[in-house]
A and B are shown apart, each in its own frame.
Chain A
Amino acid sequence: MVKRLPPDLLPGTLDMLILRVLAREPMHGYGIAQRLRAISDEVLVVGESSLYPALQRLLLNDFVNAAWAASANNRRARYYTLTPAGRKHLQAEKQEFSRLIGAIQRVLESA
């Protein structure tokens, strides 16, 4: 199974970012992409080709739930909600990620 990720993201990062966005409020796919782009000052442009498989992966692992609801402009959209399992996973991922970033930081500074 090939994991298609945005080339400049670390493996697993996209899932974590999506979970983080959903931790604030339930959101549809388009909204998640917009939000990621906005808060990262346009640095993280998530391709749709990675976003939807990632969402399916999260659904499969029961980290998120999906339900159809009316969107802000009154259209039918599929909203994703974080589950308790997803919240726990996000915590774990965040810690792991900080550890990794710290390690990279140390390598960069000492080398």
Chain B
Amino acid sequence: MPGLLHRLRTRFRNRRFDEDLRDELRFHEEMKRKELEASGIPADEARAAARRALGNATLMRENARRVWIAPWLESVWQDARYAVRSLARQPLHTITALSVLVLAIGLGTTLFTLFKGAVLTPWPARDPGRVVRITATAEGRPVGPSVAEYQLYAEQARTLSEVAVYVTGGGNRLEAPGRGTAYSPSAYVSSTFFPVLRARLQAGGGFIAEDDLPGRRPAAIISHYLWRSHFKEDPATIGLPVTINGKPFTIIGVVEPRIDGLGRQIDLWLPLSAIAVVGPVMSAGIEAAKAANCCINTVARLADGESRERARLELQMLHERFTTATKQKSGTVALYGTSNLAGPTGADFGVIGAVAAAVTLVILLACANVGNLQLARGLARRREIATRMAIGASRGRVVRQLVVEGVVLAFSAGAASILAAWTLTPFVMRALAGDVPPEIAFPPAMAWRYAPDSKVVALTAAICGLACLGFALAPAFHATRTRIPLSAMDRGGTRTARFALRGGLLATQIAACTVLLLGAGLVTRAIGHAMAFDPGFDMARISRVSVVQPHGTPAAATREFRRRLIELLERESPEPVAASETSPVTDFPFLIRVVLPGEQPSQYREVLRRSVSSRYFDVLGLPLASGRMFASTAAGEVVVNEAFVRAYFDGQDPVGRTIREIDRKGTVARGHTVVGVVRDAYVTGLERIEPVVFRPATSGALLTAGGAATVERIRALATGLDASARVRAWPLTDDVREELEKTRVGAAVAWAIGLLGLLLASVGVLGVFAYAVEERRREIGVRLALGAGRSHIVRMLVSTSGRGMVAGLALGLLLSLACGPVLGSYLYGLHPLDPLAYAGVLALLAATAAMATFVPARRACRVDPAITLREE
């Protein structure tokens, strides 16, 4: 048996194949005619007889052709061409179906492309599967590794080949002689960092162990991107003296192009010790303290032949040994990969699961809709299909042809979606970044991460394939189910009207739509809830005022300035003014470790701490429940809130009791006397009221409810103390807006998807009803002729086709109830069964259903009984 290739080659190379066959058969026919003429038959009859003898020439050619190629192969190609032609003949249907599919699949593809770029892609290390990030946590809070603990790992861990620590920072100002200024995103790394990644340097040298120590050579390594864009790949860049944030540094190397960042772009690599030199005073202090006491980002490469689990066990042992020796709380060591998905922040991506579920619902909805369109189209093509089957097309062949149409539709939509993902991603990235400049929001060096790759193409193809099954196969089977004899073709009875399939499609989309809309409605309600939220104090009247002295003012001078400013304000301002380290609406986790009276130091609790000056509660208008407020400089006194009393004092008055604070080493640092209890309010973020310890401080931005006059008084007093101080004021609601930004983006996304769903569903309902009317046109005509009223007809349609809608609605409500708790954490305290959201969405659905059924119902009422009867 000759191979398939031989067949295909012969078949396709031989362009004359068809012509040869045709000529040959024509010759045959002519010979036959001559033969018949010779036997005395008249010329005309002979010609007809010869034709008859030869039969269907096309069929014969087909039969001859099918000898060469498996007929399905050739006919699939035929089907595809036919599908394109027939789709082009009905542009309205095609555009509707295509746009619905592109909307749905494009949404999925674009979001997955973003997800892949932002979350799935690991660091650009060589053999990235062997690189792990190390964390230690106890009760959800990080407890290590600290720098000292990292050094222990580096010395003793046998399951790791290299260990490194790093801190990612913001942008730093890089100035090179004759090259201008570049603001470069930076990372501070230990000398072992590049070896962990197995990163090579393209030019110059890497960091050496000595660079880890503070005060040694000020070395910097730049990215290939920065080298190219800023230094024009000049080899003299190596050894070039530059300044970073005004401090002298030397560029010692250029890292290879593949090392473009750590999940986000990094252009400037500095030794860990450089944080203290170039970092902003505040954050450098915090980072250094954090690194020394608790935790620093630690990353390692597994030694050859070692598994992640074995490494984890060894590190757990080392961690416990370390924490025992230093009398610290020990935790659980965990190892993660380097993609953002794998990180300890992976839990934050729960929202991605919700988005993926929503996108799946949208795609389901789109499939159901296009399926309905295909069904209606199948009905309209009943005559064509019946003709095909009557002249001998097998059912399988007709089904295949209809499915191929679906495949053509779906894969055109898929191709368009990938194109859309490619072109839209940069815009989406820039739009999501808000105020961030575009070249930072979507840096050119990272573009490859966000380009559609084989994963994206594979996912899109899979979606298209499944979508085909969803929207093409079932309608195709249905369209070919009834074998109606040609003569009775137009009398397709009303029996077929009540097949389960359409009801199922309708129910599915109503259910999906209900879930989507209820989710969107709830989140929207939650946003409104959060904006109109009463935190227990009057947010609208309060302003925050920052007073900043010029960069470089000694810390001691700043402290003294702040102390005197607060003192002056407390004495001279008629309106209360207070200092607070954090805004009252953020949940920033400044913590204090306290030991309650009568408990052991090892039983310490971690409680939120807020450092405020004495008039803080006066500004917020919060009354004390008992006791008194402390003075701004009264060390050793604290005020707690009622939640603290409930949580740790069993509701008994704690005034006069002493709680002890312990430091990182686990030793008691000092005692604080509780002097007062303040009423509960949302002073640590809008999500929940948590136990808080307030302690005296004079640092941080100022708070006042006194309006512009007070701001001016603050400005006058501040510049009176230090003429160079700068004063800036903004309303507290700005802080709230900033805090709500993430939720707002989430709500916008939910609404976009929800509205898309509503649009799809209303089109779907319209399609289903139009279909029902079209299919029962005869029946409606007969009923009208027999005297049925128009309202009766509408009732009949709604009661039969509406059944699916009701079933879908019920299913959707049930699913929503089940989904409520999942959504709970994004609801800002709103109850998941919020009656307003449910009522609103149900009203919206009812209005849409009424609108979507109105047009087909009118059409049904306009059926002319006379025409129907004539057709009988």
Contacts and interface: CB of A to CB of B under 8 A. Distances in A.
A and B: bona fide binding partners: yes
Interface of A: 1, 4, 28-30, 33, 47-49, 52-53, 55-57, 60-62, 66, 71, 75-78
A78 B63 CA distance: 18
Contacts of A78: 20, 23-24, 27
B67 A60 contact: yes
B21 A52 contact: yes
B53 interface: yes
B25 interface: yes
B55 A49 contact: yes
Interface residues of B, number: 27
A53 B60 CA distance: 8
A88 to B, nearest CB: 16
Given A60-B2, A60-B7, A52 B59 contact: no
Contacts of B60: 48-49, 52-53
B647 to A, nearest CB: 81
Contact of B63 (A29, A52, A60, A71): A52
Contacts of A60: 2, 7, 10, 67-68
Contacts of B55: 47-49
Interface string B1-14: 01000010010000
A61 B25 contact: no
A1 B27 contact: no
Contacts of A76: 23, 27
B708 interface: no
Given A4-B63, A48-B54, A60-B7, A29 B28 contact: yes
A30 B67 contact: no
Nearest to A52: B64
Given A29-B28, A76-B27, 10 more contacts: A28-B27, A29-B24, A48-B25, A49-B60, A52-B21, A52-B60, A56-B64, A56-B65, A60-B10, A60-B68
A75 to B, nearest CB: 7
B354 to A, nearest CB: 52
Given A4-B63, A30-B32, A52 B2 contact: no
B239 interface: no
Nearest to B62: A53
Interface in B415-466: none
A49 B52 CA distance: 11
Contact of B27 (A55, A56, A61, A75): A75
Contacts of A48: 25, 28, 53-55, 60
A55 B21 CA distance: 11
Contacts of A71: 27
A76 B60 CA distance: 21
Nearest to B32: A30
Nearest to B65: A56
B59 A49 contact: yes
Contacts of B54: 48
A73 B66 CA distance: 32
Given A75-B27, A77-B27, A1 B71 contact: yes
27 contacts: A4-B63, A28-B24, A30-B28, A33-B28, A47-B55, A48-B28, A48-B54, A49-B56, A49-B59, A49-B63, A52-B24, A53-B63, A53-B66, A53-B67, A55-B64, A56-B64, A56-B65, A57-B67, A60-B7, A60-B10, A60-B68, A61-B2, A66-B20, A75-B27, A76-B23, A76-B27, A78-B24
A98 to B, nearest CB: 25
B31 A30 contact: yes
B168 to A, nearest CB: 66
Nearest to B20: A78
A4 B60 CA distance: 11
Interface in B58-78: 59-60, 63-68, 70-71
Contact of A52 (B23, B25, B56, B71): B25
Contacts of A29: 24, 27-28
A1 B53 CA distance: 24
